[in-house]
Each structure stands twice: as C-alpha cells, then as structure tokens.
Structure 1
Amino acid sequence: MPESQARKRRADAQRSAASIVGAAVQVLNDDPDASMEAIARAAGVTRQTVYAHFPSRERLLQALLDHVTSEAVTAIDAADIDSGPAMDALFRLLEASDRSAGRYPVLLQTLGAMRLDQSADAQLHAPVADRLRRILRRGQEAGEFDRQLSTDWLIAATINLGHAAGEAVGDGRLSKPEADHALRTSLLRILTPGPTR
C-alpha cells in the first residue's frame, strides 16, 4: 500500500476513534449504563467499529479518562499558573480543574470507580502533578509554602484532598461550597509555614 494511502487510513482511524470518544463522553455522562450500541449510534458508526478501536468497555473508559484529563490540563494551562503568588496560582489551578470536571459530573463518578494500578494512576495524574510541582516549588522558594515538607508529599496531599472534596460532594456529605471551603482551608493549613514548623 502506498504511504499516502496508509497515512489516510491512519488519519481516518484517528478521526473515527475521536468521534467515538466524543460521543461516549456525552452519552455516558447522561447515562452511565448506556450500551456500546448507544455509543456507536451517537458516534455515527457501527458497534463493530467501536469494538475495533476499543475492544472492551474498560478500554473505552480508559480512553475517556485520558480525554477528560487532557481537557483538564488544557484548562489549567489557560489559567496562567506561572504568575502571581503561588497560593493564588494553586487556587487558579484548582478552579480550572474543577470547571473542567464540572462538565462531566456523572461520567467522572463512573471513571472514579475504575480500579487503576498504581503505575496507571501515577501516569494519569502526571500532567497535573507536573503543574502542581511548578507552583509548589515556586511557593517554597519564595517562602510562601512550608519548605520542610517535600514537594512530592505536598503534590500527593493536594491531589488526594481534591479527590476527597469531590467525593464528599458526590455522596452528599458536603455541599459544593462547603467542600470548596474545606479544601482551601486544608491546603492553607498544610502549605503555609507556621511557628511550630
């Protein structure tokens, strides 16, 4: 097969996969139990085409997780996190991530229930962790954030507190404003240098 034909086939396959992912994001955010047939219909392809790209529902959900993470990273990058006080930048990162996540509340509950091994979970969080690292190191260098706690620990704490806030809203323990307040207050207490540290 000529190289130009092979490139066209790859481009067609990429468009088809992207169409399926885009449709699945919307369909599963409306109905987390929707069938692969319903996703295929929404994407304008056959069920066989969906399975050709995503041999299992789990593989499709992984692609959706990657897609949602990519959207969140794009939103974070638009939030100008490399300027101003580090705490303000951190809160801008959290707000951008929250706005992105707010587009898919039902889908994110489904994706949150996925069992990822430690390596896959670390890889998923890597783009956000990299951006957190920049903010946290800048804050530590400027004396805004506690220098005695490792940056890696602060990244893990920030990500886990963010998940805890989201889960508290998802299961009705806290309202969204209460969870936002709890998250910000907790981060201020963890990050801000104190007299006993």
Structure 2
Amino acid sequence: MDDIAAAAGLSRQTVYAHFPSRDALVTAVFQRLTDEVLAGLDAARLDEGPASAALRRLLDVSWQTFDRYPALPAPAGSADVDLHQPVIDRLTRLILRGQRAGEFDRYAAPGWLIAATIALGHAAWAEVVAGRMPAAEAAAAVRASVLRVYGVEPPAA
C-alpha cells in the first residue's frame, strides 16, 4: 500500500481511507478492468456477424484491456468468479450461437470452452507478467489456442 500511495502521490492514510485493505484495492481495480472489458465487448457487437469473427473480437477486446493492467495479481477466491460472470454470460451466448451455426465444435460443452478460454488467458497473462513472453506474442498465442479449442478452422493462406 505504501508503494501504491507513493505512485499515486498520496499518503498511505488517504489510500486506506478509500480502500481498507490491499485486497479491497485489488478488487476495485479488477472491477474497473471488468467494466472496461464489458464496455468493449458491448461495443464489439458480439451478437452480430459470424460467431468465429465475434470470438476473435472478444479475444482482442479482452487482451487490449488486460494489456493496460500488466502487473495485477489474480483476484482472490469468489471475487474472481463474480468478476468473470458478466463476461461468461456474453461468452456463453456466443458459444451457443456458434455451435448452432456449426462454426464451433458442437460436442464441446460450453462450460469447458469457457473454462479453457479463461485458463488460457490467465496463463498468457502470467507469462507476460513474469517477463517470459512479450504481450503481442501472448495475445497471438491466446487467440490461436482458443480458436483451436473451439474448433475454428484457421483462415486459408
């Protein structure tokens, strides 16, 4: 909290006046990140066009937002689930639409696809934070991996 206060040009007491603990501050930052992702997803019109194109837009919007918050720790416990739920709801609709249209693997359970998408995103983010992978490379890896998991054929070369 001392480092955060110093970086913000505030006293430690001022930071604690707004956030009673480090966890409360991290949760507030994750809520802001989630709000930004949701606004971006809504602007990306996920219900329009081919589902595979919408999935690419979802991945791009999500990564662009994560890239603005490069060093955040993962949220703890139920906060992680609560913060993911609005994104999960949008992704579920997209998966079901893609499966009905034959664009996504019809035999893959939507819950599995969602879990894989989140896990791949977190793994890539962890690689960037650890300095083992540049952000652009991680974004491309997430995109390619998620599309494979969903059964989306790569574009013809």
Which residue, 163, 176, 191 being the options, matches 2:135?
176
Partner deviation per Cα, 1:93-141 (whole Å, 9 max, x = no partner):
1111122222222xxx2333x4x11x32211111111111111111011
> What is the Cα deviation at residue 49 of structure 1?
5.0
Could you say which residue in structure 1 is the equivalent of 2:123? 164
CA shift for structure 1 position 181:
2.9
Write the distance in 2 (CA, Å) between the matches of 1:88 and 1:129. 18
Aligned counterpart, 1:61: 26
Alpha-carbon deviations, 1:33-52, whole Å to 9, x = none?
A: 624466473xxxx7545434
Structure 2 distance, partners of 1:75, 1:68, is 11
Query: Is 2:3 the counterpart of 1:34?
Result: yes
Give the number of equivalent residue pairs: 153
Gaps of 5+ in 1: 1-31
Q: Which residue of 2 aligns with 1:5?
A: none
Is the aligned partner of 1:78 residue 2:78?
A: no
Distance change (3 Å), C-alpha of 1:82 and 1:175: same
Structure showing greater Rg: 1
Work out whether residues 63 and 139 of structure 2, in 8 Å CA contact, stay in contact via their aligned partners in 1: no
- Structure 2 unaligned spans of 5+: none
How far apart are the structure 1 equivalents of 2:14 and 2:133?
A: 42
Partners of 2:129 and 2:18 in 1: how far apart? Answer: 31
For residues 177 and 55 of structure 1, what CA distance do their matches in structure 2 show? 35
Partner AA of 1:101 in structure 2: F
The change in CA–CA distance for 1:63 and 1:140 in structure 2 (over 3 A counts) is: same
Greater RCO (Cα-Cα under 8 Å, separation 6 or more): 2
Q: TM-score of the superposition, structure 2-length normalised?
A: 0.83
8 Å CA contact 1:169–1:179 kept in 2: the answer is yes
1:170 to 1:53, Cα distance in 2 relative to 1, 3 A: closer
* Percentage of matched positions with identical amino acids: 49
